[in-house]
Chains A and B, each alone.
Chain A
């Protein structure tokens, strides 16, 4: 079983929609969770990171961790065409980082 599983999509939504991106993980001891955004032909850019359970909000983005279900989510409110990118979840355990395969998102104007 992989440490992190992510639905690759692709996901296509109209502008203004709420987007939900999700990952599951295997080890209940994981504590640090991150979301990266990667535009085409660019390196991944850190969007948010959270520690343990709960929500963290930054503008239109909310990262949520449900440790009981080993489930992490990224919500994007009022999605914009500029949000079109691949989103990768990641988990840190010690000096190891485990990445999902990424979900490709397209926001249609």
Chain B
């Protein structure tokens, strides 16, 4: 699976959009981009994933560049409860289950 690079930490003000970048320059054509987050002392939580089109759900939006070498997770109106470590993961489609390799992620701090 391709490696990802994320900034170690970011912060944003409550109510503003949080834009978390991720580089995955060696991504292969069959690899998806996944985003998970881990709030302190909890298990990782799935946020969103995509292949090449932009995706949006009730939690966030995922913008993938045309060359697929980078992506951005957007939390449109960050709240204090969004403070967490955010993981960007690239993984190929497998026949049974996903083998996700978590990196060090970005620690997002949402300020009041």
Chains A and B are bound partners: no
Interface of A with B (CB < 8 Å)? none
Interface of B with A (CB < 8 Å)? none
